[in-house]
A and B are shown apart, each in its own frame.
Chain A
Amino acid sequence: MSVGTTVTEPTARSAGKRSQISGKLAPYGYVSPTVILMVVLMLIPIVMVLGYSLMDNVIMKQNPQFVGFAHYVDILTSDSFHGAVWNTLLFTGASVIAHLVIGLIFALLLNTDLLGNRTKALFRMIYILPWLFTVAIIAILWRLLLAPNGVVNYLLTASHLIGSQIAWLAEPQYALFAVTFINIWSGYPFYMTSLLAGLQGIPTDLFEAAKVDGANPLQRFVFITLPQLRPIVISMALLDFIWTTQQFALIWMTTGGGPLNTTEMLSTFTYKLAFSRYQFASASASAAIVLAISLVLAIFYVRAQKARD
């Protein structure tokens, strides 16, 4: 250790005493910037939003009044909120399942021993591409692709899969499907990379032992691969579920929650309450409900993480 010898050596005893005291305090010193940031920008804002949600006339007006749970009652009983919950559930559920399936298929393909490493690296690069794009770019790119006279409609009409051009993002019966499709495209690489790492971490002797016992590839997949990937899959799916229920930018830039609220999510619903209609108190109540949902999911996530360790 060459670096060690360059450190000057104070008298051993005083250093020992000093390090005993500073040793107790040191960890707090090291974590203090994090703690300060988390308190100022996490704890206080959460307390603030909970406070706003119980009041009227906040932020934009000067005379806040306490109104109790009135905003919660309004929101929880409104049809537009129920619509947003339902849309978020469909969007999130379909996304998570499709991410998992596509991610697993691609990871299995990329883990094949039938192809050379160079070829696999090339395909891995291509498959990871959607992950490298920011949501703003993804949104705008798919608006171009899915435009009525865009290339997707051209391919679908040319192959006679659909009769006439469809405005995928502007027609109520297709918009939710379209935004979910876009979200699936942008999100599967996250699963793929993690699952690929998981696959590569499975000890090969498990497979060899199964081969000796006469297990066929399907059996090996069901009884070795899947159980080995289970912890990764569970924590990823939970994380994805949490993130997807919070998705805002993609929706905002493709449909804005429309047409006719068919793609309204909890996030866009809350955002509009605050920044389009300036009802900050109602918006805070809605934001608090979103927080509660996320925290419940987070508890499952933390448990899954602990089980993994």
Chain B
Amino acid sequence: MTARRQQRFLARAGVLVLLVIGSLYAGLPVLWMISSSFKPNTDIFEYPPKLIPGVATLAGYATIFTDPTKVRFFLNSYFVSLTVTLLTLLVAILASFAFSRYEFPLKRVLNVMIIGVQAVPPITLLIPYFGLVVFLGLYNTYQGLILTYMVFTLPYAIIMMTGYFNTLPRELDEAVKVDGGGSWTTLWKILVPISIPGIVSVGIYTFMIAWNEYLFALTLTKTVEMRTVPIGIQLLMGQHSYEWNEMMAMSVLGCIPVLVLFLFFQRYFIGGMTAGSVKN
């Protein structure tokens, strides 16, 4: 019996050691980013390197918050990402409702298309988009970015949302029909309210795609006041000398929204996805 307990203890210690080694691989680069963001730029490559800055300063952050151009990067990113999220959710909820609750001749074709569309490489679309966006007068505008982002957020959102609606029993719809309500009522009064957990997770996923997008933001915008955070970080790299502390500060600020969403999302996701409708 004691031998067994000892064995279990050793196994536990072994797993813990492996987990710690793994978290060094995953976490050290991130710690280094945070630590560098608080260093004076002259200490970035100090020898030997120190994880905990000898001199800690907020200079990197201060230069970002006091520069309207850099604040604008963040405002642009928030605006574009939030708009894309709301529009994607709206369009995806409508489409998913049709996919989940109706049989119609084009359904299979559309379904295959939506799955297939995820595989279309952004680089393939970039050249015609450039032509199209210039033609429509949307070059260097928010609308141009928002529309193009939706092409990449919609398929996944529709697939996830359809899956979620499929888990909701059809008896709920019948109840509304008996009461004389149409499909529009069913969707907005019944399905949407109980799908909030699913909608939240789709929304977060969409927000992340939009927040992280790089290629189209690089090509379809031109002036510095239309740039988003990912491009802004790269623009810092191009300027005169490398202001590493400032770039790291911007990176830290750049991942805060996703980090916050994720912390929130984890709780929501686990509770929400399975515990569904009938309880309500």
Contacts and interface: CB of A to CB of B under 8 A. Distances in A.
Interface string A9-45: 1101001000100111011101101110110011011
Given A12-B180, A136-B233, A287-B126, A149 B132 contact: no
B201 to A, nearest CB: 12
A270 interface: yes
Interface residues of A, number: 94
B123 A298 contact: no
A48 B128 contact: yes
B19 A297 contact: no
Nearest to B262: A132
A263 to B, nearest CB: 16
A45 B122 CA distance: 11
B211 A44 contact: no
Contact of B182 (A22, A141, A245, A249): A22
Contacts of B23: 123, 126-127
Contacts of A253: 214, 234, 237
Given A9-B179, A23-B183, A130-B26, A144 B189 contact: no
A242 interface: yes
Contacts, number: 277
Given A48-B132, A287-B124, A31 B94 contact: yes
Nearest to B44: A144
Contacts of A142: 29
Top 9 closest pairs, chain A to chain B, by CB? A298-B119, A136-B230, A45-B128, A30-B98, A134-B212, A27-B102, A48-B128, A249-B214, A27-B98
Interface of A: 1, 3-5, 7-10, 12, 15, 19, 22-24, 26-28, 30-31, 33-35, 37-38, 41-42, 44-46, 48-49, 52, 58-59, 105-106, 109-110, 112, 114-115, 123, 126-130, 132-137, 140-145, 147, 149-151, 154, 158, 185, 189, 242, 245-246, 248-249, 252-253, 266-267, 270-271, 274-275, 280, 283-284, 287-288, 290-291, 294-295, 297-298, 301-302, 305
